[in-house]
């Protein structure tokens, strides 16, 4: 086959897959809408099954599309610094609900001595690991799937192992497992589905990153995949700019006596290891509710009671709820703090209400070490909780006005429904031409959700025209494309951010939360709207976890609650004003004054232990001094989004 024929075939395949994805996205969107209606338990189960099947179909289409890109050499790698522990602990979140629905434990075992910041391609590493973990869950009916994360500093390799207790693969079949379209046997395809492309893609991605992937049978007669990927250590200046959450081991009280209750042995070991890594050593484990009650009683009789009990929610005979009830109703043993371990997605509103009365807190499985640390710190007896109200409710805000430009009627209805849940006034356009006409008549629109593929005038052309009107609001690209080249096109056209299809309600909410502080500040102060540059792949998930270090702040003010409240209120008030001034300086290209404002924001954010805000203000000051316009715009936009998160976290009671 000639090169041109091969390219044509690849292009045809990519186009065909795009056409397949469109109706699948519509199905997923319709199911999202259906979930918003009144359904009984049986109907909810039907929806769940349909969503599961639609997600599988979409995953298969994406595999074929990725495979065609790799084959054609149009697959880009992006080497950037990233936080290793946060990234690798979050990966299992993408599969845990599916696993828990099968009563399979998802576990992560990380060598916490791993370099906290490395340079590699986190997106492709995640794609490989998610593919392997999904595969493991698919072929496992009971037991666990575990992700091991390690490293070899001598050759600078990241080492990953995905272990399962599934059906396993015979030695003679393992040699071909990474071949394209290979299935172990016909019954596997019939029972479990799949294209045979997933592992082939993992192999090709690993090769592209100069890594290695292998397979072996493990002690459970299941399968273990091992992946090694090279990494480099970033320069010191990069590390300085990269704000990370640090766990201070010596702050923990090592005498704390802890009991873990879980019926699955591997889960007990996993939680115990995480507690050990935090400096806790006085740890006991039992595998049933009855043994837990016995252990608690004996400990009291020996005058050495437990301080903390971690209780798994789902256990045979006596589940976590019943065990908590037994403990709370027994005066002999109820002077102990209880924490529930709940599978992600398995706890509804009723369960959360029970927690308020029966538990001191809860953690979602799979457990992350940072979350475990935060929970324990928040529940130390000496920590004083600040009295809180939602100060954000006192901000006078206008109703957000949004344009939804989408040619597909079901997708448009889905988007409009989600937006109205955000209390937004929504205008609708069926194509790019309508979008342009609406903006000409409605210049006060705050945000445009712009579909890329539309008839008459597509989203990119419409955005270019709208920016020339002029229009200085926020434009969000709605697209199924995930290539960096596509994002670059959107940026050049004047788009600010992107929403990947198929999107769900939470995805839309995340976008609006990210930008609402920018809109509200402009609206309240009656200032002219500024232009905001495209924020390229900004992921606030890492920053969210370290926006405000409350413990550090309380330590700074010696636990003086009244003084702490005054400082926080003053910081919020001052920062709102400074943000407005910063945007005005940007509009007039007054970088000298902007650098001074950023310096003030940096200092005040440091004072109240707002770590992510401090590091973002540092970048704002640095880029202002260098007069780098796009970088400054990104820093201001990111600071605004993080500041909104801070207000919700720092809910301090106002003076008076």
Residue 489 scores a pLDDT above 50: yes
> Poorest-confidence range of 87-91, 120-124, 346-350?
346-350
Q: Assign domain 80-235 to its CATH architecture.
A: 2-Layer Sandwich (3.30)
Separation of alpha carbons 577 and 630, rounded Å: 22
User: Which among 182, 162, 277 is positioned nearest to 222, based on CA atoms?
Assistant: 162
Which of the four pLDDT bands, split at 50, 70 and 90, describes residue 605?
Answer: confident
pLDDT band at 382 (very low <50, low <70, confident <90, very high): very low
Is the per-residue pLDDT at 164 higher than 60?
A: yes
pLDDT in tens, 14-28: 667 767 777 887 788
Q: Where in the chain is the domain with CATH 3.40.50.2300?
A: 253-378, 397-524
What is the per-residue DSSP string for 137-190?
A: HHT-SSSEEEEEEEEETTTTEEEEEEEE-SS---HHHHTTTTSTT--S-HHHHH
Instruction: Indicate whether 302 pLDDT > 90.
Output: yes
Helix, strand, coil percentages for the chain (3-state, nearest 5): 50, 15, 35
Q: Dump pLDDT digits (tens) for 430-470.
A: 999 999 999 999 988 999 999 998 888 999 999 999 988 98
On average, the pLDDT of the chain sits at: 79
- Each residue's pLDDT tens digit, 638-649: 888 788 778 767
Say whether the peptide bond before residue 358 is cis (omega within 30 degrees of 0): no
Mean pLDDT over 137-151 rounds to 93
**Residue 226 reports pLDDT greater than 90:** yes
Higher pLDDT, 239 or 126: 126
Mean pLDDT confidence for 217-235: 91
Q: Is 365 exposed, middle or buried (0-12, 13-18, 19+ CB in 10 A)?
A: buried
Q: Among residues of the chain, what percentage have pLDDT more than 90?
A: 29
Looking at per-residue pLDDT, the higher value among 401 and 552 belongs to: 401
What residues have CB less than 8 Å from 275, skipping those under 6 apart? 258, 283, 372
CATH class of 397-524: alpha beta
Look up the pTM and report it: 0.58
Q: Which is nearest to 262 in space by CA: 305, 317, 320?
A: 320
Between 64 and 404, the higher pLDDT residue: 404
The strand pairing partners of 497, in sequence order, are 476
Nearest to 612 by CA among 646, 564, 565: 646
| Annotation: CATH topology of 3-72 | Helix Hairpins (1.10.287)
Q: Which residues in 445-473 are b (16+ Cβ under 10 Å) and which e?
A: bbbbbbbbbbeebbbbebbbbbbeeebeb
Which alpha helices (H) appear in 525-560, and where do they start and end? 541-544, 550-556
| Rounded average pLDDT over 186-213 | 73
**CATH T-level assignment (fold) for domain 542-649:** 1.20.120
pLDDT exceeds 50 at position 345: yes
Per-residue model confidence (pLDDT) at position 174? 72
Per-residue pLDDT tens for 556-574?
Answer: 666 767 767 777 877 887 7
**CATH 1.20.120.160 location in the chain:** 542-649
Class of domain 253-378: alpha beta
Q: What pLDDT was estimated at residue 513?
A: 75
Q: Kindly compute the dihedral angle of the four CA atoms of residues 438, 443, 444, 445, in this order, to the nearest 10 degrees.
A: 40
* Positions of CATH 3.30.565.10 in the chain: 80-235
If one counts every other C-beta atom within 10 angstroms of the C-beta of residue 655, the result is 9
- Residue 433: the pLDDT is 94
pLDDT of residue 74: 67
- CATH 1.10.287.130 location in the chain: 3-72
Q: If you search the block for the tokens 């976590």, which residue do you land on?
A: 320
Q: How confident is the model at residue 245, as a pLDDT?
A: 45
Q: What is the DSSP letter of 547?
A: S
The pLDDT assigned to 535 comes to 41
pLDDT per residue as tens digits for the range 527-547:
334 344 444 444 454 554 567
**How many angstroms from the chain centroid is the CA of residue 153?**
28
Residue in the structure block whose two tokens are 């927690």:
355
What was the pLDDT predicted at 539? 47
pLDDT at 503 over 50: yes
């Amino acid at each position: 086959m000639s090169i041109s024929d091969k390219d044509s075939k690849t292009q045809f395949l990519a186009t065909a897959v795009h056409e397949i994805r469109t109706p699948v996205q519509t199905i997923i969107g319709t199911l999202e809408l259906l979930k918003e209606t009144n359904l009984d338990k049986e109907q909810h189960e039907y929806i769940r099954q349909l969503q599961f099947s639609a997600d599988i179909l979409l995953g298969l289409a994406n595999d074929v599309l990725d495979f065609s890109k790799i084959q054609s050499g149009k697959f880009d790698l992006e080497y950037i610094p990233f936080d290793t522990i946060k990234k690798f602990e979050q990966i299992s979140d993408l599969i845990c609900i599916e696993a828990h629905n099968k009563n399979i434990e998802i576990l992560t075992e990380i060598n916490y001595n791993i370099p906290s910041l490395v340079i590699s391609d986190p997106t492709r590493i995640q794609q490989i690991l998610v593919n392997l973990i999904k595969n493991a869950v698919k072929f496992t009916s009971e037991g666990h799937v575990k992700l091991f994360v390690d490293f070899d500093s001598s050759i600078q390799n990241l080492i990953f192992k995905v272990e399962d207790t599934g059906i396993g693969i015979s030695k003679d079949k393992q040699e071909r497992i990474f071949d394209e379209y290979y299935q172990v046997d016909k019954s596997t395809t019939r029972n479990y589905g799949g294209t045979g492309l997933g592992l082939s893609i993992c192999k090709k991605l690993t090769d592209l990153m100069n890594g290695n992937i292998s397979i072996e049978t493990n002690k459970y007669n299941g399968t273990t995949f091992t992946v090694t990927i090279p990494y480099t250590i970033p320069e010191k200046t990069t590390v300085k700019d990269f704000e990370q959450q640090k766990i201070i081991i010596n702050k923990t009280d090592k005498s704390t006596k802890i009991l873990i209750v879980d019926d699955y042995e591997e889960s007990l070991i996993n939680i115990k290891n995480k507690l050990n890594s935090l400096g806790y050593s006085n740890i006991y484990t039992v595998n049933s509710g009855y043994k837990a009650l016995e252990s608690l009683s004996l400990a009291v009789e020996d005058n050495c009671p437990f301080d903390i009990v971690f209780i798994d929610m789902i256990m045979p005979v006596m589940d976590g709820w019943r065990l908590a009830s037994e403990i709370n109703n027994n005066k002999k043993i109820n002077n102990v703090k209880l924490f529930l371990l709940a599978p992600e997605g398995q706890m509804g509103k009723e369960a959360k209400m029970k927690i308020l009365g029966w538990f001191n807190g809860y953690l979602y499985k799979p457990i992350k070490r940072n979350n475990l640390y935060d929970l324990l710190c928040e529940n130390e007896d000496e920590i004083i909780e600040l009295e809180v109200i939602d100060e954000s409710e006192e901000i006078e805000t206008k109703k957000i006005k949004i344009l939804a430009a989408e040619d597909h009627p079901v997708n448009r209805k889905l988007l409009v429904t989600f937006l109205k849940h955000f209390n937004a006034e929504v205008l609708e356009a069926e194509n790019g031409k309508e979008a342009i006409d609406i903006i000409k008549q409605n210049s006060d629109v705050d945000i445009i959700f712009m579909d890329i593929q539309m008839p008459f005038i597509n989203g990119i052309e419409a955005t270019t025209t709208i920016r020339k009107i002029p229009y200085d609001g926020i434009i969000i690209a709605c697209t199924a494309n995930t290539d960096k080249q596509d994002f670059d096109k959107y940026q050049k056209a004047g788009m600010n951010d992107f929403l990947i299809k198929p999107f769900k309600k939470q995805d839309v909410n995340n976008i609006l939360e990210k930008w609402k502080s920018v809109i509200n500040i402009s609206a309240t102060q009656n200032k002219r709207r500024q232009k905001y540059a495209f924020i390229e792949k900004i992921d606030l998930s890492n920053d969210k976890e370290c926006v405000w270090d409350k413990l550090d702040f309380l330590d700074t003010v010696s636990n003086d609650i009244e003084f702490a409240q005054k400082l926080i209120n003053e910081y919020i008030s001052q920062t709102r004003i400074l943000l407005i001034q910063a945007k005005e300086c940007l509009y007039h290209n007054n970088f000298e004054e902007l650098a001074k404002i950023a310096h003030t924001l940096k200092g005040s954010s440091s004072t109240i232990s707002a770590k992510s805000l401090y590091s973002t203000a540092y970048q704002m000051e640095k880029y202002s001094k260098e007069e780098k316009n796009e970088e400054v715009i990104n820093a201001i936009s990111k600071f605004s989004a993080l500041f909104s998160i801070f207000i919700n976290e720092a809910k301090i009671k106002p003076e008076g």
